[in-house]
Amino acid sequence: MSEIWNFSPSLQFEVELCLSTVSNNENNKWLKAFGHCKFNLVHPPRPAEHNNSEIEGRNASTIIVSAEKDHAVVDNAKTTITDNETIEKICECLHTDLSSRYNFMIEECLKNPNLLVKLACHLNINTVEKICKFVFESNNVNKDFLVLFFKVFLPAYIKRGYSCHTLDLLLCGSKFSLEFDIFIRKILKDCNIPNNFLQDYVKMLNGEQQSRYLLLLANLDLSSEQFVHNLFSIYLAYKDCVKSDKIQCLIQSLLYEYSNNCISDKNYGRLLLSFLQTVKSCKGNFNREYVEKIITLHRSPFKRPCLTIFNELLNYEQLHTD
């Protein structure tokens, strides 16, 4: 007759993980030791004289079960979490008791970063908000997890759907400037993320912050598709940012590099016009050959005002040369 093993309710989550991960592994020690038994995961406590099993100790990788007839040590009972059923169980536990499962979630995500993507896709909004609050308000969060959180979890979460509320939530994490920059670079390279996220984000920044945002583009090596996808947010940041020689060189370089891909793009025309207006008002330097090629190639309605300013700059340059 099969034995019925009873486990403490506090161990329910760990036992369920063990059971859910052994079905495809015939060599698993847990399956060999208990495969013939029946399990009662949430059985209420029984009087001591009838209780045949007792949990003696446990940690992140070992569960030790003792009984009158059998003794078994199960090593590495928690294997990599990949199946949908287990993901649902983890999500359910995080929904109901995040505070006690928070450290366990971090451990599992460090072992398997792809778990962060699955959690971002399955957790409800309230739980995501709580997790963000835990991470953003912590003073000693694991640095490796923090990088993964910004690089993997948050971009995947935004893909589910973006709203102003989402932006307010994510801005709370901007205090981690290095990790937040990693997050922004990740967003800039992903055309599957709605471009209105960065557009709204840029509008909330002051001039100095907008300049810092633009400088993140340096050496980012955007594809033509990625540049066009982010073009309006680049324009929004540039028109109100604190201008500098670095910013001017960066924008001129971007305009020249992607000129063939934006011949009729109005946002490109807006950026070009704003650049030329800045050169004119600040009497700044510019590459005459580059700008002339850009304007000659361009075909949007902004071509005419750009050409007008360019000719004014040439006349000004000639007057001061003579």
Query: CA-to-CA distance for 141 and 58, rounded, in angstroms?
Result: 24
More confident residue, 193 or 16: 193
More confident residue, 139 or 249: 249
Which range, of 1-10, 94-103, 204-213, 257-266, averages the lowest pLDDT?
1-10
Residues sharing a CB contact under 8 Å with residue 101, sequence separation 6 or more, in sequence order: 13, 90, 93, 94
| pLDDT value of position 138 | 84
| Residue 187 DSSP class | H
Handedness of CA 32, 33, 38, 42 (dihedral sign): negative
Tokens read off for 127: 């739980």
At 108, which amino acid appears?
Answer: E
Query: CA-to-CA distance for 114 and 108, rounded, in angstroms?
Result: 10
More confident residue, 194 or 57: 194
Which range, of 62-76, 107-121, 242-256, averages the lowest pLDDT?
62-76
**Mean local confidence (pLDDT), 17-41:** 54
Residue 63 Cα distances to 17, 59, 92, 298, angstroms: 12, 7, 22, 68
| Residue 35 DSSP class | T
Q: Which residue has the tokens 């993901």?
A: 87
Query: CA-to-CA distance for 193 and 183, rounded, in angstroms?
Result: 12
Residue 148 Cα distances to 106, 155, 180, 231, angstroms: 10, 10, 11, 27
Query: CA-to-CA distance for 267 and 199, rounded, in angstroms?
Result: 13
| pLDDT value of position 203 | 93
More confident residue, 229 or 53: 229
Query: CA-to-CA distance for 89 and 168, rounded, in angstroms?
Result: 29
What are 111-137's pLDDT values in tens digits? Answer: 989 999 999 988 888 888 888 988 998
| pLDDT value of position 292 | 95
More confident residue, 231 or 103: 231
**Mean local confidence (pLDDT), 166-174:** 84
| pLDDT value of position 289 | 93
Identify the bridge partners of residue 65 per DSSP, sorted by sequence position: 55, 72
Question: DSSP letter string over 191-229?
Answer: TTS-THHHHHHHHTS-HHHHHHHHHTTTT----HHHHHH
At 77, which amino acid appears?
Answer: A
Q: Does the pLDDT value for residue 40 go beyond 70?
A: no
| pLDDT value of position 89 | 75
Confidence of residue 56 (pLDDT cuts 50, 70, 90): very low
| pLDDT value of position 258 | 97
| pLDDT value of position 32 | 59
Q: Return the ∠ at Cα 185 (arms to 177 and 231), rounded to 5°.
A: 120
Confidence of residue 316 (pLDDT cuts 50, 70, 90): confident
Work out the percent of the chain whose per-residue pLDDT is above 90: 46
Q: Is the pTM of this model over 0.85?
A: no
In the chain, alpha helices (H): 12-22, 29-34, 84-96, 98-111, 114-122, 125-137, 143-148, 154-160, 164-171, 177-188, 196-203, 207-215, 224-240, 245-257, 266-282, 288-297, 303-321
| pLDDT value of position 72 | 34
Tokens read off for 49: 């004289």
Average pLDDT, the chain: 79
Q: Does the pLDDT value for residue 69 go beyond 50?
A: no
* Backbone angles phi and psi of 213, in degrees to 5: -60, -45
| pLDDT value of position 19 | 55
**Mean local confidence (pLDDT), 64-74:** 34
For residue 82, the SS3 value is coil
Q: Does the pLDDT value for residue 271 go beyond 80?
A: yes
| pLDDT value of position 61 | 37
